[in-house]
A and B are shown apart, each in its own frame.
Chain A
Amino acid sequence: GAVVSQHPSRVICKSGTSVKIECRSLDFQATTMFWYRQFPKQSLMLMATSNEGSKATYEQGVEKDKFLINHASLTLSTLTVTSAHPEDSSFYICSAREGRTNQPQHFGDGTRLSIL
């Protein structure tokens, strides 16, 4: 149980393109989803927390207009990197937590984004 599916696994696109990444909880309802960014050989850096039906809470230094997050249902959250540039190239990972309290986060397999 507790499977989180992230799609696509890899994206290569030109500078200026907007890219959408989907995160789905397959067998549970995720009231909260988290988006992380991970640079090579580094830890996970939280970008934002999204609760179903409300606006995402962004961490300090993360541009909300650059990284648009939508969490319209209990099983789906999307991250859109708008007008992506080479410096946005990274490994983006989502996680989801079931609505009940004290439940751990379960992670997707990440999206490798490469902007040319």
Chain B
Amino acid sequence: GENVEQHPSTLSVQEGDSAVIKCTYSDSASNYFPWYKQELGKGPQLIIDIRSNVGEKKDQRIAVTLNKTAKHFSLHITETQPEDSAVYFCAASIGGYQKVTFGIGTKLQVIP
């Protein structure tokens, strides 16, 4: 089955700096890669996703990149703000309609 590795497990950045979270996946058939943000005591919220037919996608301060050859994908948050502090999960699946395999999560702390 699919295996998703995520790092770092914790990340502290100063407000205004950028944050990068990296993930790798094992199943070359995976073609859908969502990113979720989970705040304390809440369920994960989809913040951005990317499909294998594109290499990069951007939504305001958030961007994701995908390298299918290397099976790497990354989340980039620019101009970080304290409200970006949360746990971020990367995930991979085939088609998006099959079960999703999650990474271990990255706890991001943005220091004011």
Residues of A within 8 A of B (CB): 4, 6, 32, 34, 41-44, 46, 49, 93, 95, 97, 101-110, 112
Residues on A with beta carbons closer than 8 Å to the beta carbon of B25: none
18 contacts across the A-B interface (CB closer than 8 A):
A32-B97, A41-B105, A42-B105, A43-B104, A44-B89, A46-B99, A49-B99, A95-B43, A97-B96, A101-B97, A102-B97, A103-B96, A104-B32, A104-B34, A106-B46, A107-B36, A107-B44, A109-B41
The answer to whether A112 and B41 touch (CB under 8 A), given A102-B32, A104-B49, is yes
Instruction: Give chain B's interface residue range (CB within 8 Å of chain A).
Output: 20 to 34
Contact among B42, B96, B97, B102 with A43 in the assembled complex (CB-CB below 8 Å): B102
CB distance from A66 to the nearest CB of B (A): 20
- Are B44 and A43 in contact (CB-based, < 8 A)? no
- Are A108 and B43 in contact (CB-based, < 8 A)? yes
Interface string of B45-58 (1 = CB under 8 A from A): 11001010000000
- Are B49 and A107 in contact (CB-based, < 8 A)? no
Residues on B with beta carbons closer than 8 Å to the beta carbon of A107: 36, 43-46
Residues on A with beta carbons closer than 8 Å to the beta carbon of B46: 104-107
Q: How long is the Cα–Cα vector from A44 to B107 in the complex, in angstroms? A: 14
CB distance from B69 to the nearest CB of A (A): 22
- Are B95 and A101 in contact (CB-based, < 8 A)? yes
